[in-house]
Amino acid sequence: MRSSLVSKSAAALKANSQTAPIKEKLKNGLTVVAQDNNGAVSQLILAFRAGARYQSVTQQGLVHHIRNFVGRDAQSYPGLQLVWSSAASGAQMNSFASRDIFGVQISVARDDAAYALSILGHVASKPAFKPWETEDVLPTIRADLSQKTPYSRVFEDLHRAAFRNDSLSYSLLSSKNQIGAFKSDEMSKFAAKHFVSGNGVLVGINVDHNILKNYAEESGTISEGSIVMNHMAPFRGGDYRRFARGDNVHIVIAGAGAPINDVKQRAVQSVFLAHVGRSSPLKFATLPGTQSGLGLANLPGGVTGSSFQAAYDGSGLAGVYLISPAANSDAAVRAAVGALRKPKVQDIEGCKRRAIAEILFSSENSVLSAYEHATNALYKGPDSSNDLISEIQKVDVKDVEKFADGAFQRLAISAYGNYFRIPYSDEIH
Protein backbone atom coordinates (compact mmCIF):
# COMPACT_ATOMS: atom_id res chain seq x y z
CA MET A 1 0.00 0.00 0.00
CA ARG A 2 2.78 2.42 0.90
CA SER A 3 4.63 1.85 -2.37
CA SER A 4 1.43 2.70 -4.22
CA LEU A 5 1.31 6.02 -2.38
CA VAL A 6 4.76 6.86 -3.69
CA SER A 7 3.56 6.10 -7.21
CA LYS A 8 0.46 8.22 -6.69
CA SER A 9 2.48 11.22 -5.52
CA ALA A 10 4.62 11.02 -8.64
CA ALA A 11 1.52 10.68 -10.79
CA ALA A 12 0.03 13.72 -9.09
CA LEU A 13 3.04 15.76 -10.11
CA LYS A 14 2.53 14.80 -13.74
CA ALA A 15 -1.17 15.57 -13.55
CA ASN A 16 -0.90 19.03 -12.00
CA SER A 17 -0.79 22.33 -13.85
CA GLN A 18 2.99 22.33 -14.25
CA THR A 19 4.22 21.55 -17.74
CA ALA A 20 7.47 19.84 -18.59
CA PRO A 21 10.37 22.25 -19.08
CA ILE A 22 11.61 22.93 -22.61
CA LYS A 23 15.41 22.98 -22.89
CA GLU A 24 17.22 24.02 -26.03
CA LYS A 25 20.79 24.91 -26.90
CA LEU A 26 20.93 27.69 -29.50
CA LYS A 27 23.41 28.15 -32.31
CA ASN A 28 25.24 30.85 -30.39
CA GLY A 29 25.86 28.33 -27.57
CA LEU A 30 23.42 29.77 -25.04
CA THR A 31 21.12 27.25 -23.35
CA VAL A 32 17.48 28.27 -22.91
CA VAL A 33 15.16 26.60 -20.40
CA ALA A 34 11.47 27.51 -20.16
CA GLN A 35 8.73 26.11 -17.95
CA ASP A 36 5.33 27.74 -18.31
CA ASN A 37 3.10 26.90 -15.35
CA ASN A 38 0.63 29.62 -16.32
CA GLY A 39 1.55 31.64 -13.25
CA ALA A 40 1.03 35.39 -13.03
CA VAL A 41 4.64 36.15 -12.05
CA SER A 42 7.59 35.27 -14.27
CA GLN A 43 10.95 34.28 -12.82
CA LEU A 44 13.87 35.04 -15.13
CA ILE A 45 17.48 34.04 -14.58
CA LEU A 46 20.57 34.66 -16.69
CA ALA A 47 23.43 32.64 -15.22
CA PHE A 48 26.95 31.63 -16.18
CA ARG A 49 29.53 29.05 -15.19
CA ALA A 50 31.29 31.69 -13.13
CA GLY A 51 30.87 30.81 -9.47
CA ALA A 52 33.49 31.01 -6.76
CA ARG A 53 35.34 27.92 -8.01
CA TYR A 54 36.20 29.73 -11.27
CA GLN A 55 38.39 32.23 -9.46
CA SER A 56 42.11 31.59 -9.38
CA VAL A 57 43.79 30.90 -6.05
CA THR A 58 44.86 34.58 -5.90
CA GLN A 59 41.39 35.88 -6.80
CA GLN A 60 39.34 34.58 -3.88
CA GLY A 61 36.65 37.18 -3.24
CA LEU A 62 36.51 38.40 -6.84
CA VAL A 63 33.05 36.94 -7.56
CA HIS A 64 31.72 38.51 -4.36
CA HIS A 65 32.86 41.92 -5.63
CA ILE A 66 31.30 41.29 -9.05
CA ARG A 67 28.00 40.19 -7.49
CA ASN A 68 27.79 43.42 -5.52
CA PHE A 69 28.33 45.46 -8.68
CA VAL A 70 24.98 44.28 -10.06
CA GLY A 71 22.62 47.24 -10.39
CA ARG A 72 25.38 49.71 -11.25
CA ASP A 73 26.41 50.90 -14.67
CA ALA A 74 26.26 48.50 -17.60
CA GLN A 75 28.31 49.03 -20.74
CA SER A 76 25.43 50.68 -22.62
CA TYR A 77 23.22 52.11 -19.86
CA PRO A 78 23.63 53.92 -16.53
CA GLY A 79 22.85 51.70 -13.58
CA LEU A 80 20.26 54.12 -12.25
CA GLN A 81 18.33 53.92 -15.51
CA LEU A 82 18.31 50.12 -15.40
CA VAL A 83 17.23 50.00 -11.77
CA TRP A 84 14.45 52.54 -12.28
CA SER A 85 13.27 50.77 -15.43
CA SER A 86 13.14 47.52 -13.50
CA ALA A 87 11.21 49.12 -10.64
CA ALA A 88 8.79 50.88 -13.01
CA SER A 89 7.74 47.50 -14.40
CA GLY A 90 7.16 46.18 -10.87
CA ALA A 91 10.15 43.88 -11.05
CA GLN A 92 12.45 42.76 -8.26
CA MET A 93 16.06 42.04 -9.16
CA ASN A 94 18.71 40.09 -7.23
CA SER A 95 22.20 38.87 -7.95
CA PHE A 96 23.44 35.53 -6.62
CA ALA A 97 26.49 33.31 -6.68
CA SER A 98 27.19 29.73 -5.70
CA ARG A 99 30.39 27.79 -6.11
CA ASP A 100 29.26 26.72 -9.58
CA ILE A 101 27.26 29.63 -11.04
CA PHE A 102 26.89 33.39 -10.97
CA GLY A 103 23.74 35.08 -12.17
CA VAL A 104 20.98 37.63 -11.86
CA GLN A 105 17.32 36.84 -11.14
CA ILE A 106 14.30 39.02 -11.88
CA SER A 107 10.72 38.51 -10.66
CA VAL A 108 8.24 40.40 -12.82
CA ALA A 109 4.60 40.39 -13.85
CA ARG A 110 4.14 37.94 -16.70
CA ASP A 111 3.03 40.60 -19.19
CA ASP A 112 6.30 42.51 -18.70
CA ALA A 113 8.61 39.50 -19.07
CA ALA A 114 9.89 40.51 -22.53
CA TYR A 115 10.72 44.00 -21.28
CA ALA A 116 12.45 42.63 -18.17
CA LEU A 117 14.61 40.35 -20.33
CA SER A 118 16.23 43.36 -21.98
CA ILE A 119 17.15 44.73 -18.54
CA LEU A 120 18.38 41.33 -17.37
CA GLY A 121 20.69 40.88 -20.34
CA HIS A 122 22.52 44.16 -19.78
CA VAL A 123 22.70 43.87 -16.00
CA ALA A 124 23.96 40.27 -15.94
CA SER A 125 26.22 40.06 -18.99
CA LYS A 126 27.46 43.61 -19.62
CA PRO A 127 28.62 45.15 -16.33
CA ALA A 128 30.90 48.16 -16.82
CA PHE A 129 32.97 48.03 -13.61
CA LYS A 130 33.78 51.73 -13.76
CA PRO A 131 36.73 52.50 -11.47
CA TRP A 132 34.99 55.35 -9.65
CA GLU A 133 32.16 53.03 -8.60
CA THR A 134 34.43 50.58 -6.81
CA GLU A 135 34.48 52.59 -3.58
CA ASP A 136 30.67 52.68 -3.57
CA VAL A 137 30.49 48.87 -3.61
CA LEU A 138 32.84 48.22 -0.69
CA PRO A 139 30.34 49.08 2.09
CA THR A 140 27.90 46.48 0.76
CA ILE A 141 30.64 43.84 0.83
CA ARG A 142 31.45 44.73 4.43
CA ALA A 143 27.75 44.51 5.24
CA ASP A 144 27.65 40.98 3.81
CA LEU A 145 30.51 39.95 6.08
CA SER A 146 28.86 41.49 9.13
CA GLN A 147 25.71 39.42 8.56
CA LYS A 148 27.35 36.00 8.54
CA THR A 149 25.50 33.52 10.73
CA PRO A 150 27.07 30.63 12.68
CA TYR A 151 25.62 28.27 10.06
CA SER A 152 27.10 30.21 7.14
CA ARG A 153 30.49 30.22 8.86
CA VAL A 154 30.52 26.51 9.63
CA PHE A 155 29.20 25.64 6.16
CA GLU A 156 31.96 27.67 4.49
CA ASP A 157 34.55 26.02 6.72
CA LEU A 158 33.19 22.60 5.81
CA HIS A 159 34.30 23.20 2.23
CA ARG A 160 37.79 24.08 3.44
CA ALA A 161 37.89 20.79 5.31
CA ALA A 162 36.32 18.67 2.57
CA PHE A 163 38.12 20.06 -0.48
CA ARG A 164 41.19 21.59 1.17
CA ASN A 165 43.03 23.80 -1.33
CA ASP A 166 40.99 22.79 -4.40
CA SER A 167 38.60 25.20 -6.12
CA LEU A 168 35.47 24.08 -4.24
CA SER A 169 37.10 25.26 -1.01
CA TYR A 170 37.03 28.88 -2.21
CA SER A 171 34.65 30.98 -0.16
CA LEU A 172 31.53 32.65 -1.56
CA LEU A 173 32.50 35.79 0.35
CA SER A 174 35.55 37.98 0.26
CA SER A 175 37.86 37.97 3.26
CA LYS A 176 38.26 41.27 5.10
CA ASN A 177 41.79 41.83 3.82
CA GLN A 178 40.67 41.32 0.21
CA ILE A 179 37.96 43.98 0.25
CA GLY A 180 38.84 46.51 -2.44
CA ALA A 181 41.77 44.44 -3.72
CA PHE A 182 40.19 43.84 -7.14
CA LYS A 183 40.38 46.63 -9.65
CA SER A 184 38.19 47.41 -12.64
CA ASP A 185 40.45 45.71 -15.20
CA GLU A 186 40.57 42.41 -13.30
CA MET A 187 36.80 42.22 -12.91
CA SER A 188 36.28 43.20 -16.56
CA LYS A 189 38.60 40.44 -17.78
CA PHE A 190 36.79 37.84 -15.66
CA ALA A 191 33.41 38.98 -17.02
CA ALA A 192 34.63 39.05 -20.64
CA LYS A 193 35.80 35.44 -20.32
CA HIS A 194 32.86 33.99 -18.40
CA PHE A 195 29.76 36.06 -19.22
CA VAL A 196 29.40 34.71 -22.75
CA SER A 197 26.77 32.69 -24.61
CA GLY A 198 28.52 29.31 -24.67
CA ASN A 199 29.04 29.54 -20.93
CA GLY A 200 25.53 30.60 -19.95
CA VAL A 201 21.88 29.69 -19.55
CA LEU A 202 18.69 31.75 -19.75
CA VAL A 203 15.86 30.36 -17.60
CA GLY A 204 12.23 31.43 -17.51
CA ILE A 205 9.45 30.15 -15.26
CA ASN A 206 5.90 31.21 -16.22
CA VAL A 207 7.05 32.62 -19.55
CA ASP A 208 6.64 31.41 -23.11
CA HIS A 209 9.66 29.58 -24.53
CA ASN A 210 9.57 31.61 -27.75
CA ILE A 211 9.99 34.88 -25.82
CA LEU A 212 13.20 33.59 -24.27
CA LYS A 213 14.47 32.11 -27.50
CA ASN A 214 13.76 35.23 -29.56
CA TYR A 215 15.55 37.44 -27.07
CA ALA A 216 18.56 35.10 -26.86
CA GLU A 217 18.87 34.87 -30.65
CA GLU A 218 18.07 38.43 -31.69
CA SER A 219 19.07 40.88 -28.97
CA GLY A 220 22.83 40.52 -29.41
CA THR A 221 23.32 41.65 -25.82
CA ILE A 222 25.09 38.50 -24.62
CA SER A 223 28.52 38.25 -26.24
CA GLU A 224 29.32 35.05 -28.06
CA GLY A 225 32.00 32.87 -26.53
CA SER A 226 32.94 29.33 -25.55
CA ILE A 227 32.33 27.25 -22.45
CA VAL A 228 34.78 27.69 -19.56
CA MET A 229 35.72 24.49 -17.74
CA ASN A 230 36.52 24.35 -14.04
CA HIS A 231 39.13 22.35 -12.19
CA MET A 232 37.64 19.22 -10.64
CA ALA A 233 37.76 19.15 -6.84
CA PRO A 234 37.52 15.65 -5.32
CA PHE A 235 36.32 15.12 -1.76
CA ARG A 236 39.37 14.73 0.49
CA GLY A 237 38.05 15.11 4.03
CA GLY A 238 39.60 16.64 7.10
CA ASP A 239 38.87 19.13 9.86
CA TYR A 240 38.44 22.88 10.21
CA ARG A 241 37.62 24.60 13.49
CA ARG A 242 36.89 28.18 14.48
CA PHE A 243 36.55 29.28 18.09
CA ALA A 244 33.74 31.48 19.37
CA ARG A 245 32.88 32.25 22.97
CA GLY A 246 29.87 30.53 24.49
CA ASP A 247 28.62 27.19 25.74
CA ASN A 248 27.41 25.83 22.38
CA VAL A 249 29.04 24.69 19.17
CA HIS A 250 27.80 24.45 15.58
CA ILE A 251 29.04 21.34 13.80
CA VAL A 252 28.75 20.03 10.25
CA ILE A 253 29.75 16.45 9.43
CA ALA A 254 29.86 15.40 5.78
CA GLY A 255 30.95 12.70 3.42
CA ALA A 256 31.36 12.52 -0.33
CA GLY A 257 27.94 13.36 -1.79
CA ALA A 258 26.50 12.89 -5.26
CA PRO A 259 27.52 15.31 -8.04
CA ILE A 260 24.94 17.29 -10.01
CA ASN A 261 24.90 15.03 -13.06
CA ASP A 262 24.51 11.66 -11.29
CA VAL A 263 20.71 11.45 -11.05
CA LYS A 264 20.62 7.90 -9.72
CA GLN A 265 23.10 8.64 -6.95
CA ARG A 266 21.25 11.85 -6.06
CA ALA A 267 18.04 9.85 -5.74
CA VAL A 268 19.63 7.36 -3.34
CA GLN A 269 21.19 10.23 -1.40
CA SER A 270 17.80 11.95 -1.07
CA VAL A 271 16.24 8.79 0.38
CA PHE A 272 19.19 8.29 2.73
CA LEU A 273 18.93 11.87 4.03
CA ALA A 274 15.18 11.49 4.46
CA HIS A 275 15.98 8.52 6.73
CA VAL A 276 18.51 10.60 8.69
CA GLY A 277 15.91 13.37 8.93
CA ARG A 278 15.97 16.13 11.50
CA SER A 279 15.64 16.04 15.25
CA SER A 280 13.30 18.34 17.11
CA PRO A 281 14.41 21.26 19.30
CA LEU A 282 11.26 20.69 21.39
CA LYS A 283 11.48 19.22 24.86
CA PHE A 284 8.87 16.53 24.16
CA ALA A 285 10.46 15.24 20.97
CA THR A 286 8.65 11.90 21.11
CA LEU A 287 5.31 13.52 20.32
CA PRO A 288 3.97 12.78 16.83
CA GLY A 289 5.18 15.25 14.24
CA THR A 290 8.18 16.56 16.18
CA GLN A 291 10.71 14.35 14.46
CA SER A 292 11.26 13.46 10.83
CA GLY A 293 13.36 10.40 10.08
CA LEU A 294 14.97 8.06 12.60
CA GLY A 295 18.69 8.43 11.91
CA LEU A 296 19.20 11.21 14.46
CA ALA A 297 16.92 9.76 17.11
CA ASN A 298 19.84 8.84 19.41
CA LEU A 299 21.46 12.25 19.73
CA PRO A 300 22.34 13.26 23.33
CA GLY A 301 20.13 15.61 25.29
CA GLY A 302 20.09 19.23 24.20
CA VAL A 303 21.45 18.44 20.73
CA THR A 304 19.46 19.22 17.59
CA GLY A 305 20.40 18.16 14.08
CA SER A 306 19.32 18.01 10.48
CA SER A 307 20.51 16.28 7.35
CA PHE A 308 21.77 18.38 4.41
CA GLN A 309 23.18 17.97 0.92
CA ALA A 310 25.04 20.09 -1.61
CA ALA A 311 25.63 18.92 -5.19
CA TYR A 312 28.36 20.43 -7.35
CA ASP A 313 29.88 19.75 -10.72
CA GLY A 314 31.91 16.57 -10.29
CA SER A 315 31.54 16.37 -6.53
CA GLY A 316 29.17 16.91 -3.63
CA LEU A 317 28.55 16.85 0.10
CA ALA A 318 26.03 15.00 2.25
CA GLY A 319 25.75 14.80 6.00
CA VAL A 320 24.31 16.45 9.11
CA TYR A 321 24.33 19.85 10.80
CA LEU A 322 24.32 19.81 14.62
CA ILE A 323 23.91 22.43 17.33
CA SER A 324 25.21 21.04 20.59
CA PRO A 325 26.12 22.08 24.11
CA ALA A 326 29.91 21.88 24.30
CA ALA A 327 29.69 19.25 27.06
CA ASN A 328 27.76 16.87 24.78
CA SER A 329 29.58 17.58 21.54
CA ASP A 330 31.84 14.50 21.58
CA ALA A 331 28.91 12.14 22.07
CA ALA A 332 26.82 14.08 19.54
CA VAL A 333 29.45 13.79 16.81
CA ARG A 334 30.00 10.09 17.43
CA ALA A 335 26.26 9.37 17.44
CA ALA A 336 25.78 11.31 14.20
CA VAL A 337 28.68 9.53 12.49
CA GLY A 338 27.23 6.20 13.56
CA ALA A 339 23.88 7.16 12.02
CA LEU A 340 25.59 8.17 8.78
CA ARG A 341 27.82 5.12 8.46
CA LYS A 342 25.36 2.45 9.62
CA PRO A 343 21.83 3.45 8.62
CA LYS A 344 19.15 1.15 10.00
CA VAL A 345 16.36 1.80 7.54
CA GLN A 346 13.12 0.25 8.75
CA ASP A 347 10.65 2.15 6.56
CA ILE A 348 12.13 2.63 3.10
CA GLU A 349 8.78 3.61 1.60
CA GLY A 350 8.30 6.29 4.23
CA CYS A 351 11.75 7.67 3.45
CA LYS A 352 10.94 7.74 -0.25
CA ARG A 353 7.70 9.59 0.42
CA ARG A 354 9.52 12.22 2.48
CA ALA A 355 12.20 12.62 -0.19
CA ILE A 356 9.57 13.05 -2.91
CA ALA A 357 7.58 15.50 -0.79
CA GLU A 358 10.65 17.68 -0.31
CA ILE A 359 11.25 17.78 -4.07
CA LEU A 360 7.60 18.64 -4.73
CA PHE A 361 7.63 21.44 -2.16
CA SER A 362 10.78 22.89 -3.75
CA SER A 363 9.28 22.70 -7.22
CA GLU A 364 6.36 24.84 -6.03
CA ASN A 365 8.77 27.70 -5.33
CA SER A 366 9.36 29.26 -8.74
CA VAL A 367 12.56 31.05 -7.68
CA LEU A 368 14.14 27.85 -6.36
CA SER A 369 12.89 25.98 -9.40
CA ALA A 370 14.49 28.52 -11.74
CA TYR A 371 17.78 28.28 -9.88
CA GLU A 372 17.68 24.47 -10.08
CA HIS A 373 16.99 24.62 -13.82
CA ALA A 374 19.96 26.95 -14.33
CA THR A 375 22.37 24.75 -12.40
CA ASN A 376 21.13 21.50 -13.94
CA ALA A 377 21.24 22.89 -17.47
CA LEU A 378 24.85 24.08 -17.12
CA TYR A 379 26.09 20.86 -15.51
CA LYS A 380 23.94 18.14 -17.08
CA GLY A 381 21.70 17.52 -14.10
CA PRO A 382 18.14 16.16 -14.35
CA ASP A 383 15.92 17.96 -16.86
CA SER A 384 13.02 18.05 -14.41
CA SER A 385 12.02 16.96 -10.91
CA ASN A 386 10.15 14.05 -12.52
CA ASP A 387 13.48 12.49 -13.49
CA LEU A 388 14.67 12.54 -9.88
CA ILE A 389 11.34 11.29 -8.53
CA SER A 390 11.37 8.42 -11.01
CA GLU A 391 14.78 7.32 -9.73
CA ILE A 392 13.71 7.66 -6.10
CA GLN A 393 10.91 5.17 -6.71
CA LYS A 394 13.53 2.54 -7.65
CA VAL A 395 15.63 2.91 -4.50
CA ASP A 396 15.75 0.00 -2.03
CA VAL A 397 17.41 -0.57 1.34
CA LYS A 398 20.53 -2.10 -0.20
CA ASP A 399 21.06 1.01 -2.32
CA VAL A 400 20.93 3.19 0.80
CA GLU A 401 23.35 0.96 2.71
CA LYS A 402 25.76 0.87 -0.23
CA PHE A 403 25.64 4.67 -0.52
CA ALA A 404 26.42 5.13 3.18
CA ASP A 405 29.25 2.61 3.04
CA GLY A 406 30.96 4.51 0.25
CA ALA A 407 30.15 8.11 1.12
CA PHE A 408 31.34 8.16 4.73
CA GLN A 409 34.57 6.20 4.63
CA ARG A 410 36.27 9.56 4.99
CA LEU A 411 34.73 12.50 6.83
CA ALA A 412 34.92 16.25 6.77
CA ILE A 413 34.09 17.99 10.05
CA SER A 414 33.84 21.73 10.65
CA ALA A 415 32.98 23.42 13.93
CA TYR A 416 32.27 26.96 15.08
CA GLY A 417 32.04 27.78 18.75
CA ASN A 418 33.33 25.94 21.83
CA TYR A 419 34.77 23.02 19.86
CA PHE A 420 37.39 21.63 22.25
CA ARG A 421 35.60 18.33 22.98
CA ILE A 422 34.89 17.48 19.35
CA PRO A 423 36.89 14.48 18.07
CA TYR A 424 38.89 14.82 14.88
CA SER A 425 37.71 12.96 11.81
CA ASP A 426 40.57 10.43 11.92
CA GLU A 427 39.74 9.55 15.55
CA ILE A 428 36.25 8.24 14.75
CA HIS A 429 36.16 4.58 13.81
Task: Tell me the per-residue pLDDT of 195-213, one tens digit each, with 9 for 90 and over.
Answer: 999 999 999 999 999 999 9
Of the two residues 234 and 290, the one the predictor is more confident about is 234
Task: Give the predicted TM-score (pTM) of the model.
Answer: 0.90
How far, in Å, CA of 253 to CA of 322, rounded? 8
How far, in Å, CA of 78 to CA of 63, rounded? 21
Of the two residues 10 and 421, the one the predictor is more confident about is 421
- The mean pLDDT value for 164-178 works out to 95
pLDDT digits (tens, 9 = 90+) for 386-402: 999 999 999 999 999 99
How far, in Å, CA of 33 to CA of 21, rounded? 7
Angle between helices 62-69 and 134-146 (to 10 degrees): 110
pLDDT band at 84 (very low <50, low <70, confident <90, very high): confident
- The mean pLDDT value for 342-363 works out to 94
Residue-level pLDDT at 375: 97
Chain-wide mean pLDDT for the chain?
91
How far, in Å, CA of 353 to CA of 364, rounded? 17
Q: Catalogue the E-assigned strands of 11-101.
A: 22-25, 31-35, 41-48, 92-97
Residue-level pLDDT at 287: 39
Share of the chain above pLDDT 90, in %: 84
Residue-level pLDDT at 293: 59
pLDDT band at 166 (very low <50, low <70, confident <90, very high): very high
**Strand pairing report for 92-97 and 102-109:** antiparallel
Q: Which amino acid type is present at position 205?
A: I
Residues ≥6 apart with Cβ < 8 Å to 368 = 362
What are the residue ranges of helices labelled H in 172-237? Answer: 184-194, 209-218
| H or E element in which residue 253 lies | strand 248-256
Bridge partner residues of 102 (DSSP) = 48, 97
Residue 82 scores a pLDDT above 50: yes
CB crowding 75-98: b at 16 or more within 10 Å, else e: eebebeebbebbeebebebebbbb
Question: Nearest to residue 372, comparing CAs of 319, 293, 309?
Answer: 309
Residue 312 scores a pLDDT above 60: yes
Tell me the three state secondary structure of residue 309.
Answer: strand
Render 109-150 in DSSP notation, one character per residue: EGGGHHHHHHHHHHHHH-B---GGGHHHHHHHHHHHHHT--H
How far, in Å, CA of 25 to CA of 364, rounded? 25
Residues ≥6 apart with Cβ < 8 Å to 304 = 278, 279, 280, 281, 322, 323
- The mean pLDDT value for 63-71 works out to 96
Q: Return the half-sphere exposure (C-beta side, CA atoms, 13 A cut-off) of residue 363.
A: 25
Residues ≥6 apart with Cβ < 8 Å to 44 = 105, 106, 107, 108, 113, 116, 117, 120, 202, 203, 204, 205, 207, 370
Instruction: List, in order of start, the domains of the chain with CATH numbers.
Output: 18-218 (3.30.830.10), 238-427 (3.30.830.10)
pLDDT band at 13 (very low <50, low <70, confident <90, very high): very low
Residue-level pLDDT at 89: 85
- The mean pLDDT value for 323-337 works out to 96
Residue-level pLDDT at 80: 82
- The mean pLDDT value for 279-290 works out to 47
Residue-level pLDDT at 294: 66
Q: Given 3-state DSSP classes, what are the helix, strand and coil percentages for the chain, each rounded to the nearest 5?
A: 45, 20, 35
pLDDT band at 15 (very low <50, low <70, confident <90, very high): very low
Question: Nearest to residue 159, comparing CAs of 235, 62, 65, 265?
Answer: 235
How far, in Å, CA of 241 to CA of 216, rounded? 46
pLDDT band at 278 (very low <50, low <70, confident <90, very high): confident
How far, in Å, CA of 152 to CA of 218, rounded? 41
Bridge partner residues of 317 (DSSP) = 256, 310
Residue 291 scores a pLDDT above 60: no
Q: Return the half-sphere exposure (C-beta side, CA atoms, 13 A cut-off) of residue 320.
A: 32
- Lowest average pLDDT, out of 120-134, 158-172, 285-299, goes to 285-299
Q: Alpha-carbon Rg of the chain, whole angstroms?
A: 22
Residue-level pLDDT at 1: 42
Going across the sheet that includes 304-312, the strands are: 238-243, 412-417, 248-256, 315-325, 304-312
pLDDT band at 280 (very low <50, low <70, confident <90, very high): low
Angle at 236 between CA 249 and CA 272, to 5 degrees: 70
Q: How far from 415 is each of 190, 244, 424, CA to CA, in Å? A: 33, 10, 10
pLDDT band at 295 (very low <50, low <70, confident <90, very high): confident
